């Protein structure tokens, strides 16, 4: 089976990399102070979960990113639909959207902290500014790409505006929206973690910042690994929903396993 | 009184005048074939009749009134695939009824009957990409007919099919038409198909500024079998007569291109 072979290679690559890292660190080829080593990182993660000290932070980060993901997507899809279906409004708003999107989001973090405090809200706001534009542009594009013939056909068959939205525009834009969801998850995490990193009292970004403060590279790497696992899990979840909702599409070549 | 009438219809795309001063009448229940060289404006005329395109000059009259907006009694089988790729064959056919406010359950029951009528009773849950081109055309036909339009506009519906499938579909169309005698405007570039199906064949001149230049009644007996009728002397005589006119236009279109 080809799928199995690919999996074995993937696993081998990971183990090889970890083994090399461990070996290089133990034999002093790389400085453990700067690079830590996999066994330490694994132990640290095990301790975090063992004592349960990581859970409150994990909870806060999860909450922030889910909220940012949800509201950013909701706003993005809604505005994307609206502007795509109302070209005159889109023409008016176009420069403003471009201008807003041109702001590097990181500089917003201190302002959001001022406005919304050190808690969850400021991180959600930061995440929303990132997620929103991804969802917005993809939805807009997706709606614009609806086949004109399919659209005319539906209209002649008696579809009213709400029907078109439900049966034509949204399903047609769905593949764009889903691909945007997967990018959005990453952005939601960035919003949450960067926000925490720059000023907060809880969350994985805070944990990483604390560890960095005392030159605890093991803590930094452990935080990164937990984040990574978390994003992968969410991505897989979205992938599942996507496969269900987009069952109508011809199977793409390759794919997962 | 004619059911559908083009009165001095001209359509220009920018400075290119596709059709000019088109006058054409369809009696209630009449099956009219429209033939002409590629690019002479056949699809354009169908779009005008469907109300998808407003003529630059002239009007379309429907049952004694000028047509405004979408044609409410027209069913339009487009040249390209126009069914929704994200709905199954059954749901595609059920959709026009859902647009008219019927519940899905009821609509699907009726849709299944129509799928059987076009010979697809065994494929209700297939998505369009899982069906062949001919099967997709049949789904389109069922989708158009389930709404029971009084006017049927068909744009080279069988052009992409192989000869056998094509004759099958032509006979099926004649059988369905025989049931309730809708008014049909059937566009094709295949003269044999035009004659075999229609009560009247209208020949368009080569573009630009195309218009009807010949109008031939087809007094062949019904019901017809499209494969057999092609062999009758009367058919051959009609074919020769119309081809004499059409050939010149095809040559002109060729030279102009
Ligand atoms: N939307 C359009 N914009 C510009 N030109 C068009 C458009 N639609 C059709 N045409 C032109 O009008 C002429 C007639 O087109 P069409 O009705 O599609 O021809 P047919 O269906 O007979 O092949 C062609 O020369 C085509 O290039
Ligand atoms: Mg055409």
Instruction: Show me where the domains of chain B are located.
Output: 4-73+150-256, 79-149
* Arithmetic mean of pLDDT, B18-27: 95
Whether the pLDDT of residue B255 is over 90: the answer is no
Indicate the range of A199-208, B1-10, B147-156, B231-240 predicted with least confidence.
A199-208
Whether the pLDDT of residue A49 is over 80: the answer is yes
* Arithmetic mean of pLDDT, B176-201: 94
pLDDT tens figures, A165-181: 999 999 988 888 888 88
- Homologous superfamily assigned to A36-245: MetI-like (1.10.3720.10)
Instruction: Show me where the domains of chain A are located.
Output: 1-33, 36-245
B40 lines ligand 1 (CB under 6 A): yes
Three-state SS annotation for chain B: CCCEEEEEEEEEECCEEEEEEEEEEECCCCEEEEECCCCCCHHHHHHHHHCCCCCCEEEEEECCEECCCCCCCEEEECCCCCCCCCCCHHHHHHHHHHHCCCCHHHHHHHHHHHHHHCCCCCCCCCCHHHCCHHHHHHHHHHHHHHCCCCEEEEECCCCCCCHHHHHHHHHHHHHHHHHHCCEEEEEECCHHHHHHHCCEEEEECCCCCECEEEEEECCCCCCCCHHHHCCCHHHHHHHHHHHHHHHHHHHHHHHHC
In chain A, what residues touch B84 (CB-CB under 8 Å)?
Answer: 150, 154, 167-168, 171
* Arithmetic mean of pLDDT, A48-53: 93
Whether the pLDDT of residue B210 is over 60: the answer is yes
Task: Give pLDDT, residue A241.
Answer: 87
Ligand 1 centroid to B45 CA: how many Å? 10
Task: Give pLDDT, residue B48.
Answer: 97
> Cα(B128)–Cα(A250) distance, rounded to whole angstroms?
9
SS3 of residue A203 by DSSP: coil
Whether the pLDDT of residue A254 is over 50: the answer is no
Q: Ligand 1 test: best mutation among B9, B22, B44, most atoms within 8 Å of CB?
A: B44
Q: Look up residue B11 and give its two tokens.
A: 């359509």
B86 lines ligand 1 (CB under 6 A): no
Of residues A172 and B236, which shows the higher confidence score? Answer: B236
Output the average pLDDT for chain B. 93
B200 lines ligand 1 (CB under 6 A): no
Do the bridges between strand B183-188 and strand B31-35 make them parallel or antiparallel, or are there none, so unpaired? parallel
Indicate the range of A149-158, A192-201, B228-237 predicted with least confidence.
A192-201
Task: Chain B: give the shortest CA distance to residue A24, in Å.
Answer: 53
Cis peptide before A79 (omega within 30 of 0): no
pLDDT tens figures, A108-122: 988 998 999 888 999
Mutate to test the interface with A, among B69, B91, B99, B136 (most CBs of A within 10 A): B99
pTM of the model: 0.83
Mutate to test the interface with A, among B75, B86, B127 (most CBs of A within 10 A): B86
Task: Give pLDDT, residue B10.
Answer: 96
pLDDT tens figures, A194-253: 999 888 889 999 999 999 899 999 999 999 999 889 889 988 988 898 888 888 888 754
What percent of chain B is predicted at pLDDT more than 90? 82
B190 CB burial (10 A radius; 0-12, 13-18, 19+)? middle
Q: Ligand 1 test: best mutation among B41, B206, B209, most atoms within 8 Å of CB?
A: B41
> Could you tell me the pLDDT band of residue A256, with boundaries at 50, 70 and 90?
very low
Report which protein residue has its CA nearest ligand 1's atom 9: B44
Ligand 2 centroid to B71 CA: how many Å? 19
B18 lines ligand 1 (CB under 6 A): yes
Residues of A near B (Cβ–Cβ under 8 Å) read 147, 149-150, 152-160, 163, 167-168, 171-172, 174, 246-250
Is B4-73+150-256 a CATH 3.40.50.300 domain? Answer: yes
What percent of chain B is predicted at pLDDT more than 70? 100
* Arithmetic mean of pLDDT, B111-133: 93
pLDDT tens figures, A72-108: 999 999 999 999 999 999 999 999 999 999 999 888 9
CB-CB under 8 Å, B129 with A248 = yes
Whether the pLDDT of residue B175 is over 50: the answer is yes
Do the bridges between strand B200-204 and strand B183-188 make them parallel or antiparallel, or are there none, so unpaired? unpaired
- Provide the chain B residues 86-145 that lie in CB contact (below 8 A) with chain A: 86-88, 95-96, 98-100, 127-129, 143-144
Of residues B125 and A244, which shows the higher confidence score? Answer: B125
Output the average pLDDT for chain A. 90
Task: Give pLDDT, residue B257.
Answer: 60
Whether the pLDDT of residue A158 is over 70: the answer is yes
């Amino acid at each position: 089976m080809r799928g199995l072979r690919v999996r074995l290679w993937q696993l081998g690559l990971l183990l090889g990399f970890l083994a090399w890292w461990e070996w290089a660190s133990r034999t002093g080829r790389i400085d453990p102070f700067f690079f830590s080593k996999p066994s330490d990182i694994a132990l640290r993660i095990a301790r975090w979960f063992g004592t349960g000290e990581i859970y409150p932070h994990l909870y806060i980060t999860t909450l922030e990113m889910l909220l940012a993901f949800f509201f950013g997507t909701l706003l993005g899809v809604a505005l994307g639909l609206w502007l795509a279906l109302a070209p005159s409004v889109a023409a008016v708003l176009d420069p403003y959207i471009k201008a807003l999107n041109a702001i590097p989001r990181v500089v917003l973090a201190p302002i959001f902290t001022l406005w919304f405090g050190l808690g969850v809200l400021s991180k959600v706001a930061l995440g929303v500014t990132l997620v929103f534009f991804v969802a917005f542009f993809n939805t807009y594009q997706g709606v614009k790409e609806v086949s004109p013939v399919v659209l005319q056909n539906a209209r002649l068959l008696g579809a009213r505006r709400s029907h078109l939205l439900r049966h034509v525009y949204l399903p047609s834009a769905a593949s764009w929206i889903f691909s945007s969801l997967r990018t959005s998850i990453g952005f939601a995490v960035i919003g949450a973690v960067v926000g925490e990193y720059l000023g907060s009292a809880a969350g994985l970004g805070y944990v990483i910042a604390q560890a960095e403060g005392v030159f605890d590279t093991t803590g930094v790497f452990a935080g990164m690994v937990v984040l990574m696992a978390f994003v992968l899990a969410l991505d897989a979840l979205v992938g599942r929903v996507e496969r269900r909702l987009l069952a109508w599409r011809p199977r793409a070549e390759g794919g997962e396993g | 009184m004619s059911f559908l009438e083009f009165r001095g219809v001209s359509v220009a795309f920018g400075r290119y005048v596709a059709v000019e001063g088109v006058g054409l009448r369809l009696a209630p229940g009449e099956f009219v074939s429209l033939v002409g060289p590629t690019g002479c404006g056949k699809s354009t005329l169908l779009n005008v009749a469907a109300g998808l395109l407003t003529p630059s000059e002239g009007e379309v009259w429907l049952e004694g009134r000028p047509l405004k907006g979408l044609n409410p009694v027209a069913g339009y089988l487009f040249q390209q695939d126009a069914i929704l790729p994200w709905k199954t064959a059954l749901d595609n056919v059920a959709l026009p009824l859902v647009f008219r406010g019927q519940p899905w359950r009821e609509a699907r029951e009726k849709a299944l009957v129509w799928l059987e009528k076009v010979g697809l009773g065994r494929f209700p849950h297939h998505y369009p990409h899982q069906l062949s081109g001919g099967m997709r055309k049949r789904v389109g036909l069922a989708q158009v007919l389930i709404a029971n339009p009084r006017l049927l506009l068909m744009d080279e519906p069988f052009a992409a099919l192989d000869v056998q499938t094509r004759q099958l579909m032509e006979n099926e169309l004649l059988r369905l038409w025989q049931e309730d005698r809708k008014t049909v405007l059937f566009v094709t570039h295949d003269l044999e198909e035009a004659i075999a199906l229609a009560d009247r064949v209208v020949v368009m001149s080569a573009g630009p500024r195309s218009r009807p230049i010949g109008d031939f009644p087809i007094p062949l007996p019904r019901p017809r079998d499209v494969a057999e009728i092609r062999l009758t002397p009367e058919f051959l005589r009609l074919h020769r007569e119309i081809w004499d006119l059409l050939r010149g236009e095809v040559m002109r279109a060729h030279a102009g291109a």
